[in-house]
Amino acid sequence: MAQKLVIVESPAKARTLNKILGRSYSIKASLGHVRDLPRKSLGVNIDKDFTPKYVIPQRKRKVIRQIKEAASKASSIYLATDPDREGEAISWHLVAAAKLDEDKVPIRRVVFHEITKEAVEKAFKTPHAIDINLVNAQQARRILDRLVGYKLSPLLWRKVQRGLSAGRVQSVAVRMIADREQKIQDFNPKEYWTIEVELAPLEEPQAKFRAKLIASADGTKLNICDENKANKIAADLEKASYIVKSIRTKQIARQPAPPFITSTLQQEAWRKLHFTAKHTMAVAQQLYEGLPLGEEGSVGLITYMRTDSTHVAVSAIAEVRNFIAKKYGEDFLPSKPRAFARKVKWAQEAHEAIRPTKIYREPGQIKSFLNRDQLKLYQLIWKRMVASQMSPALYDTTNVEIQTNHVIASEAKQPQGYLLKAASSVVKFPGFITVYSETKDEEEQGGFVSLPELKVGDRLSYWGTFPEQYFTQPLPRYTEATLIKALEQRGIGRPSTYAPILSIIQERDYVYKADGKFYPHELGLIVNSILKQHFPKIVDFSFTAQMEEQLDEIAQGKQEWIYVLRDFYSPFEDMLSKARLAIAKVDMSKPTDEICPNCSRPMVIKVGRFGKFLACSGYPECKTTRPFVVKTGIPCPRCGGELVQKVNKRRQVFYGCSNFPQCKFATNYKPLPQPCPECGKLLVLDRDGRTKCTACQYKAKLAKLGSEREEAI
């Protein structure tokens, strides 16, 4: 009996489906896209309604042969690629590349948002045809990006340097980072002072607390802009008497955050786990596609990780509420299930939020089957989902206003003085924070103090004044979390694009990350300036967001993709023509103190395909080049030579000995000048910013292996 053929993208997904579907199904993996536009040419016929020319990459031809062979023996074909535009396009390309429609075998599209027995079986009972609207939306995005990349990039090569690229969305992200940096550099800090006063009830001098000066007695806001003014007010406060003017108490309910969508998962994984967006999506992909859990076999642990919807299936909500009632009690369960309004304009409600496929599969129960990063991310997703259906956290807050009387004028009807404020917040009922709280919620807890029992009219004793000098701060530089949030708020990019955007702009050397924050390279600033001046629409926030909306409308069948491309290309071609004449050649080389060993002319720093290098200023007469290295001043632990910073062909920074190739010591971690206090060897800074000694770690590992062998014997 002929088997039914199922085609998915990855071998991991194939293994999980194989367990669910059984022997009557043969499952093949396409290993991603099987057709694409050619690498070395535009591949789009602009004169014929932007007709794309798709080719099968050499590395995918064997995959196509295997799929075609399996299809010829199959009784039916099921296309089970991912439930988004990319997945729909992969299915469409598979049919064309392997000529599946020529075998007169029924071809069906199946879609599921979690790889569980129930979801997969339901999908196979309700197959449908390929959604050509989703395919066209993906085609339009791909062609738009190709037009921008292949038309703009050669221009940047000629005018700036070889190897550059421009992208419809990546260029906007670079602009956001560059514009933010410009604002930071232009920022003029202004001095200001805050003043706190330490007070206590007359009857309880030990119950001290601090109140913050907020205004004069009549409510006029104080602007304390220099030390003289701060000292004058501090002197007034030292002589003042203090009385409790008002006390306001109320209960505040803090509601939990919705379950994750792609952008919020990437943001919170960066804030809490220090995972990059790219790493977050890679780990989430593993959790979605399935991991072996002992006797359970391969199981999909979370729903599909590329989504912009906070919708959760009714059955999943019921399961979560049942779990909460059993584990935490009825007090932690709201009377009604909580529903979250979608915040993303074009969210697809057919998709679900990112959640565990089975809430009773607690992180602690499966930790032995997951690696460290898989467990961390699964735990984050699990906690967020459980918390989203729990009762709100209740806080008792107290706000106390304190009046001072430092001048009593006989002719004045009202005493003059200042107004101070103190606040306290006490958790009355923990609710959802028993399980999970957003990072920003935890940060907001600052500013509260512990207050003694007070009544209106109580007089307070003075114990000290504490003026503090501050300076206004510029906007902070973007982190991965805040950049993704800003892109999403502006409507730029979609769930599948955030991680690639952040990776590309770093790989192109337009921006770099230091201490978790994005900084523009000089190259990024130059390219951004050129694009803003000559291609304003390409880096315009509202125009880019509008293009995203048009792509979404194509996916919904509300727009024709060819018309969208026409509307874009005509003004774009006009901008290109003008820019070719207007943009002057930019010299990116930088002088150095190095002398060319062959002709004695100065060496200059240039940037090539693999980053910076030293080249003779006499080029093309002298073509001498040398690697560019950054000295660290730290001795090599192996030979005593100096460690230098280098960049490999993948543009990854590493540190190696300057005596290479005689000494081949290298490390991916940043070396530190101080030696290890335990063994005196090299200390390094790992990716999480922690100091460690690799020599001590290696020694401890050997000792552990030795003790384990002794126990085994």
CB atoms under 10 Å from CB of 543, counted, come to 14
Contacts of 370 (CB under 8 A, 6+ apart): 291, 378
Structural contact between residues 64 and 29, judged by C-beta atoms closer than 8 angstroms? no
69: left (phi > 0), else alpha (psi -120 to 50), else beta?
alpha
Distances (CA, A) of 677 to 108, 214, 609, 685: 65, 48, 41, 15
Catalytic residues: 304
* Rounded Cα–Cα distance for residues 34 and 96 (Å): 10
As a residue count, the chain comes to 713
Please give the DSSP secondary-structure letter assigned to residue 610: T
CA 670, 672, 676, 680 torsion: positive or negative? positive
- Closest among 83, 479, 441 to 269, alpha carbons compared: 479
Q: In whole angstroms, what is the distance from residue 663 CA to residue 660 CA?
A: 5
Report d(CA 346, CA 466) in Å as an integer. Answer: 51
| Residue 698 exposed, middle or buried by CB count within 10 Å (0-12, 13-18, 19+) | exposed
The shares of helix, strand and coil residues in the chain, as percent rounded to the nearest 5, are 40, 25, 40
Residue 148 zone, left/alpha/beta (φ > 0; ψ -120 to 50; rest): alpha
Strand order from edge to edge, sheet including 602-608: 590-595, 602-608, 611-616, 625-627
Sequence-ordered strand ranges (E) for 134-187: none
Positive/negative CA dihedral, 521, 524, 530, 534: negative
Distance CA 589, CA 318 (A): 63
Maximum CA pair distance of the chain? 108
Distance CA 236, CA 462 (A): 12
The DSSP string of 294-330 is GGG-EE--B--S--------HHHHHHHHHHHHHHH-G
Which residues are CB-contacts of 572 (< 8 A; sequence separation ≥ 6)? Answer: 147, 148, 151, 535, 537, 538
**Alpha-carbon dihedral angle through residues 324, 330, 335, 339, given to the nearest 10 degrees:** -10
| 671 Cβ neighbours under 8 A, 6+ residues apart | 632, 634, 643, 655, 682, 683, 684
